[in-house]
Amino acid sequence: MSLVEITEVTHNIILDMRYATENNFTRQTIYDCSRCFLRPEALTLLEKAIVLADAQGYRFKVLDAHRPQYAQERLWDVCPNPDYIANPASGSHHTRGVAVDLTLIDKDGQELDMGTPFDSFDLSSHHGSQQISPEASRNRYMLLGIMMSAGWDFYVNEWWHYQLFKPREFDLIKSR
């Protein structure tokens, strides 16, 4: 098993690895590596999505991708809610290297309004939420359309989270 690094230069994206900073729901640095990694299978689909977003005048800001097991454990310690954080005992799609958290940005690098910030763990962060503005709803559907057209599956409770289909077929990555 190997992970592939994704960089701003090689993939025309912006990296804002939130768990490598205190700018996340825990207000703690969860892991100290601000680099971004995915399995090759996930990278192939991300590259397709990048092309689709670019054709519409957008880019991605990647907020999280592969995360080490110890980071999953830290997140669970802060928020042991399986609706939003996978129990580290069974692993997460992120610890398998097959999930990415992201948002869309415009040509000026500004995030599109998605109705809630990343890591808003409530009903307003769910796909199809009626608790957000029509503009935010359109932006979410645009992101969803791009990602699904590229071959990604989504998690209904988090507008920012996309994963490979059948993610549990991939082994947990024990360390990086």
CA–CA distance, 173 with 38 (Å, rounded to integer): 11
- Residues 28-59 as b/e (b if ≥16 CB within 10 A, e otherwise) read ebbbeeeebbbbeebbebbebbbebbeeeebb
CA–CA distance, 31 with 95 (Å, rounded to integer): 13
Does residue 83 contact residue 125 with C-beta atoms inside 8 Å? no
Residues 6 or more apart in contact with residue 85 via CB below 8 angstroms: 72, 75, 76, 79, 92
CA–CA distance, 78 with 38 (Å, rounded to integer): 25
CA–CA distance, 42 with 28 (Å, rounded to integer): 27
5 is catalytic: no
CA–CA distance, 79 with 82 (Å, rounded to integer): 8
Residue among 47, 73, 111, 158 flagged as catalytic: 158
Catalytic residue IDs: 158
